[in-house]
A and B are shown apart, each in its own frame.
Chain A
Amino acid sequence: MKKSVWKNPLFLIGFTFIALMLMSSFMYSLVWGNEVRRLYFISVEGVVVESSPISPKWLFPLGTDPLGLDMLGKIIIGAKYTILTALVIAFLRVLLALPIGFILGTFLMKYKKYINGWIDSFHYIPLTILAYFLLEPILWEPFGGFPNSIVERFIIEILILTFLIVPILSALFGNEVSMLYKQEFIMSAKTLGAGKWRIIFKHILPGMKEKLVIVFGQQFMQTLIIFIHLGLLTLFLGGTDVDYQMVNDPPRSITYEWSGLIGDSFRYLQGAPWVPLTPILFFSATMLSVSLMIEGYVQTTSGHSYYKKKFKAAYRPFNERKDPPVQADFEKVKM
């Protein structure tokens, strides 16, 4: 029995969080623009009791950063850039890897060993470092300012982060496709005279649908992890604004996207733990909601619930016998 995904509580929790973040982000920008509340110090009866970074208060639930900017405001403004870019990257990865995977799985399975051997080499290069390597000349502001516009930088970054994963994903899809080709229903479809395209579109694609959604979710999460790591390395989404004056400001992000909030905030870990922890917690919450959505999706489609039922049916004889033996069971049957 198929239920709608929209009735699954896990899926809904995850979806609500992400949708709320996005909506509040756009609302905030519409209403207040990209202005963030500032609070430099708190004074009680003329005596300064606390200056920025100010610890979380009722009015400033996540505190302020060392420059006195409200953390919550920055998080809300940044949400749309971070989440949407990660979504686009994950979507493009799956979209590009799918046809390549089909080609690999359909025509090139003879050379599977060589292709897998070559793609295997990707598995030994830490992705973060490779991404850092490739993105550093683009995202780090050179002395005279960026040679290209912010839109261009976004596009280049999205493309690079997409293409880094496409080989691995295509190999994954290729193996999946070649496994599906060995299934019986494909055989029977072939016997009935289905052409190559019909098999691909009518039999293999539906068979991979669930896997595709799961991979999409995983790629989304992986992209967010890369954003965190790049943030640690002070390469921010859409470019890092570098100050080349003698007494320079720390490098900062051009937008308020979340990896820019991580930046070099780690030195405040002891004194003001909310500064580095806030963006990381929001990253974690987003990833958690994505994994909740995946789990909810798997539960509603054939996956889990079906599996559980099957499992229970197979194992009932061992685990439980519904009625305990009664006296009548041991009496001789009268013929």
Chain B
Amino acid sequence: MRSIGGILLKFFLSIAGIIFIGGLPVLLSGIGHRELRLQAYWQSIKEIVSALFHPGDLTYVIIGGQKERDLFPYLWEPITYSLLVLFSAFLLAGFLSILLTILTMLFSQKNRNRIKFMFYLFESVPDVLVILSAQLLVLTLYKHTGILFFEIASVDMERAFLLPVLVLAILPTVQLFRMSILSFETEERKDYVTLARSIGLGKLVILTFHILRNAVISVFFQSKKTIWFMLSNLFVLELLFNIAGITRFLKSTLQPKMFTIAVLSIFIPLFVFYTVGEIVLSKKANKGEEI
């Protein structure tokens, strides 16, 4: 079923969806005066589509600035930087959550439930609080030891990288942990685990070699929500760390065209990531479902 046609169809449907959403602000811009601007909406959708076919012609004006600049060579830098932060944080979160899951699975059922409950509560901490406390922590460390462990904000030339990645990884780790522990526990009840146990394999061996490769698949398919959550997170992060990334660019140019292009620049790499992952994994196993 995973034919190229199906993938392309899904790709274009999603792009159409993004274009329609990108035009929404125009549609709703008159809502304060109790009117829907359908005509302008249609106009702006046409504009967005034509802009997509001629991206080289696009220019943008910084708010308060006078000069018009070409969009495209400029936009690459924030895009690559934001995606780098996003993907590093995501990979870090995935790695950490699986490590934590394996550690937790080694405990008894009672303690496991306690750990799960703690993580569950931790999940309800808002991202802003995490970012703030990270900044405060680094500041106090700096005050006490005189060593600045991380750059807490980006200045013109230097870009903070390590701390944003770490901070961005915290909450997704917790979310992925919840998914992966659920998936591990359902796998644990399957027959092959009983078999492995009966031939005398150790708990850690079963967890890392047998359960892990089956459990990871369903976690991968569920992780799309986490990425979505991370995008909003990334935005706040860029705001508070003063990083000139793609999400900040999204905010600074309130034009449907720019908005759509910036969203597409996030969408396309993620779509490629998930499609490739899906193809690879569905060859390895039956989509994480029981065979």
Which A residues lie at the B interface, using CB under 8 A?
113-114, 117-130, 132-134, 136-138, 146-148, 153, 156, 160, 221, 224-225, 228-229, 232-233, 262, 266, 269-270, 273, 276-277, 280-281, 283-284, 287-288, 290-292, 295, 308, 311-312, 314-315, 318-319
> Can you list 12 residue pairs at the A/B interface with Cβ under 8 Å?
A117-B13, A118-B13, A121-B13, A124-B18, A124-B266, A126-B247, A128-B236, A134-B24, A225-B232, A284-B126, A288-B124, A318-B197
Instruction: Tell me which of B25-33, B45-53, B57-65, B276-284 binds A.
Output: B25-33
**B254 CB contacts on chain A under 8 angstroms:** 133, 136
Residue from A123, A126, A228 within 8 A of B225 (CB atoms): A123
- Please report the C-alpha to C-alpha distance between residue A329 and residue B227 in the assembled complex, in whole angstroms: 57
Q: Is the CB of A121 within 8 A of B32?
A: no
Of B125, B126, B267, most A-chain CB atoms within 10 Å: B126
Most B-side CB within 10 Å, residue of A133, A283, A308: A133
**B85 to nearest A CB, angstroms?**
14
A295 contacts across to B, CB distance below 8 A: 117, 120
**In the complex, chain A residues whose CB is within 8 Å of the CB of B41:** none
Complex: A98 Cα to B200 Cα, angstroms: 49
Q: B109 touching A270 by the CB < 8 A rule?
A: no
Report the stretch among B73-81, B94-102, B128-136 that lies at the interface. B128-136
Q: Which of B17, B31, B239 contacts A138 (CB 8 A)?
A: B31
Which chain A residue has the least Cβ–Cβ distance from B234?
Answer: A126
Interface residues of B in 102-131 (CB under 8 A from A): 109, 113, 117, 120-121, 123-129
Q: Tell me the bound Cα distance from A107 to B125 in angstroms.
A: 39
Asked if B28 and A228 sit within 8 Å, CB to CB, the answer is no
Residues in B with CB closer than 8 Å to A129 are 232, 235, 247, 250-251, 259
Name the residue in A114, A118, A277 with the highest tally of chain B Cβ atoms < 10 Å from its Cβ: A118
A215 to B197, CA, bound (A): 38
B21 cross-chain contacts in A, Cβ below 8 A? 121-122, 125, 130
CB neighbours of B28 from chain A (8 A): 134, 137, 160
Contact (Cβ within 8 A) B232 A122: no
When distances are taken between beta carbons in the complex, the residues of chain A under 8 Å from B121 are: 288, 291-292
Residues of A within 8 A of B18 (CB): 121, 124-125
Give the size of the chain B interface in residues (CB under 8 angstroms): 57
Report how far A2 CA is from B259 CA in the complex, Å: 50
Q: What is the CB-to-nearest-CB distance from B96 to chain A, in angstroms, rounded to a whole number?
A: 21
B3 to chain A, nearest CB (A): 12
Q: How many Å lie between the Cα of A262 and that of B236 in the bound state?
A: 13
Q: List the A side residues contacting B25 at CB < 8 Å.
A: 133-134, 137
B33 CB contacts on chain A under 8 angstroms:
147-148
- Taking a contact as CB atoms under 8 Å apart, the answer to whether B231 and A117 are in contact is no
* Residues of chain B lying within 8 A (CB to CB) of residue A269: 132, 135-136
Q: B31 and A117: CB pair below 8 A?
A: no
**Among B16, B17, B34, B129, which residue has the most Cβ atoms of chain A within 10 A?**
B17
B198 to chain A, nearest CB (A): 10
Q: Are A225 and B127 in contact (CB under 8 A)?
A: yes
B139: Cβ under 8 A from any A Cβ? yes
Chain A proximity of B285: nearest CB distance (Å): 21
Of the candidates B13, B15, B34, B224, the one whose C-beta lies within 8 Å of that of A123 is: B224
B14 touches A287 (CB 8 A): no
Rounded to whole angstroms, the CA-CA distance of A118 and B270 in the bound complex is 15
A129-B250, A291-B124, A295-B117 known; A273 vs B13 contact (CB < 8 Å): no
Contact call A283/B126, Cβ cutoff below 8 A: yes
Rounded to whole Å, the gap between the CB of A245 and the closest CB of chain B is 19
Check if B267 sits within 8 Å of A124, measured CB to CB: yes
Question: Besides the contacts A123-B227, A232-B128, what 7 more A-B pairs have beta carbons closer than 8 Å?
Answer: A120-B13, A126-B231, A132-B251, A134-B25, A270-B139, A280-B132, A284-B129
Closest 4 CB pairs of A and B: A121-B17, A126-B231, A121-B14, A291-B124
Which residues on A sit within 8 Å (CB–CB) of B228?
Answer: 123-124, 126-127
Contact indicator A124/B259 (Cβ below 8 Å): no
